[in-house]
Amino acid sequence: MAHQHLHNEQAGDKRIWWAIAVNLVLTVAQIAGGIVSGSLSLVADAIHNLSDAISMAIAYVARRIARRPANEAWTFGYVRAEMIAALINYTTLIVIGLYLVYEAIFRFFEPQPVQGWTVVIIAAVALVVDTITAMLTYSLSKSSMNIRAAFLHNVSDALGSVAVIIAGTVIILYDWVFVDPLITLMIAGYILWQAFPEIGGAIRILMSATPRNIDPQEIISKSSAITGVIGIHHLHIWPIDEHRVSLEAHVVIEDHLMNQSEEIKNDLKNMLDKEFLINHSTLEVESRSNECGDGKIYGH
């Protein structure tokens, strides 16, 4: 099983490297084509492709770091390295998106000539490459925030390439150069639309926020329904990474049931695992008569 898992990870690493390589080649071609043709939307799409290649490179490094085992200096391990990578990637995307908005608005006031055929041909090549990259990262995107973001970015790149092809065609047919910055604004808007929600998820994990799919009040309610439990406080619920959640709490039970505290804790842990998929919980048992005085429900 461990050998198969390692093989799958290595195969995934190879797919990421191929995705990085094809995006870098495409980026160089698009930037050259954008400069020659005078197309800002083509350069915009190239910058987005470059950001994808860098994003995948950062995700690859973080993916390797995250596999390191826990030790005395890093008792939680290195799993949040991928969240740091996601935060870097999305912050960069937001900055790029805002910059493209600025450039597009500037082009509305000072239009530049655009060679339509160059734009269409290079954007068509970009569409093929974006599709290949999306296929390389699709299966990995199901289990990783970083790779999922890269996959979604490649899909957005593909849509951007379609938009650039449309812009180039319109310029060829009607010489409407204003379409170029308009398409750039659309690409920038899509980048920002993708980045803002995703960066929130990475920040929540790094800030140890309660996962959105878990209701603390429901945990307290179902815990209190277990025989012997009369109170829960000092409750902490936080994600270790995007797949694992931990919990710790003080559990108050009736004095006469203290000799059954281990059974009650096991019942609580089984409930947390079954109902909320929390399989790592640390519970401190207190009797009613020795309950700590500053019993805040959340935190200390």
The reply to whether 111 falls in a domain is: yes
Q: Which residue has the higher pLDDT, 159 or 65?
A: 65
The reply to whether 85 falls in a domain is: yes
The reply to whether 56 falls in a domain is: yes
Among 72-76, 89-93, 255-259, 290-294, whose mean pLDDT is lowest?
290-294
Q: What is the pLDDT of residues 245-259, one digit of tens each?
A: 999 999 999 988 899
- Look up the CATH number of the domain holding residue 236: 3.30.70.1350
Structural domain count of the chain: 2
Among 155-164, 185-194, 230-239, whose mean pLDDT is lowest?
155-164
**Residue 9 confidence class, pLDDT cut points 50, 70, 90:** low
Which residue range(s) make up the domain with 200? 2-206
| Residues 259 and 144 reside in one and the same domain | no
| Residues 136 and 32 reside in one and the same domain | yes
Q: What is the pLDDT of residue 147?
A: 76
- Look up the CATH number of the domain holding residue 20: 1.20.1510.10
| Residues 8 and 145 reside in one and the same domain | yes
| Residues 161 and 232 reside in one and the same domain | no
The reply to whether 298 falls in a domain is: no
| Residues 108 and 156 reside in one and the same domain | yes
Query: Would you say residue 288 has pLDDT above 60?
Result: yes
Query: Would you say residue 164 has pLDDT above 70?
Result: yes
Cβ contact 224:282 at 8 Å: no
Mean pLDDT of the chain: 81
| Residues 168 and 266 reside in one and the same domain | no
| Residues 137 and 263 reside in one and the same domain | no
For the beta sheet containing 229-239, the strands, ordered from the edge strand earlier in sequence to the opposite edge, are: 229-239, 245-253, 280-287
Which one of 206, 230, 265 terminates a domain? Answer: 206
Cα separation, 118 vs 165, in Å, equals 10
Cα separation, 284 vs 273, in Å, equals 17
Q: Crossing angle, helix 81-109 and helix 40-66, to 10 degrees?
A: 170
Which one of 206, 237, 252 terminates a domain? Answer: 206
pTM of the model: 0.75
Among 7-11, 186-190, 283-287, whose mean pLDDT is lowest?
7-11
Among 12-16, 71-75, 191-195, whose mean pLDDT is lowest?
12-16
| Residues 169 and 242 reside in one and the same domain | no
Q: What is the pLDDT of residues 113-152, one digit of tens each?
A: 556 676 677 778 778 877 877 777 777 777 777 777 777 7
Cβ contact 164:186 at 8 Å: no
Q: What is the pLDDT of residue 10?
A: 63
Query: Would you say residue 262 has pLDDT above 90?
Result: yes
| Residues 195 and 116 reside in one and the same domain | yes
The reply to whether 299 falls in a domain is: no
**Residue 2 confidence class, pLDDT cut points 50, 70, 90:** very low
**Residue 1 confidence class, pLDDT cut points 50, 70, 90:** very low
The reply to whether 199 falls in a domain is: yes
The reply to whether 238 falls in a domain is: yes
* Secondary structure letter of residue 286 according to DSSP: E
Backbone angles phi, psi at 231, to 5 degrees: -175, 150
Q: Span 75-91, mean pLDDT?
A: 86
| Residues 67 and 93 reside in one and the same domain | yes
Write down how long the chain is.
Answer: 300
Which one of 206, 234, 253 terminates a domain? Answer: 206
Among 62-76, 83-97, 259-273, whose mean pLDDT is lowest?
83-97
| Residues 131 and 241 reside in one and the same domain | no
Q: What is the pLDDT of residue 3?
A: 44
The reply to whether 295 falls in a domain is: no
Query: Would you say residue 5 has pLDDT above 60?
Result: no
Q: What is the pLDDT of residue 4?
A: 46
| Residues 114 and 244 reside in one and the same domain | no
Token pair recorded at residue 285: 């048992």
**What percent of the chain has a predicted confidence (pLDDT) above 90?**
24
At which residue do the structure tokens 């065609």 appear? 169
Q: What is the pLDDT of residue 105?
A: 86
Q: Which residue has the higher pLDDT, 85 or 214?
A: 214
At 73 the three-state DSSP class reads: coil
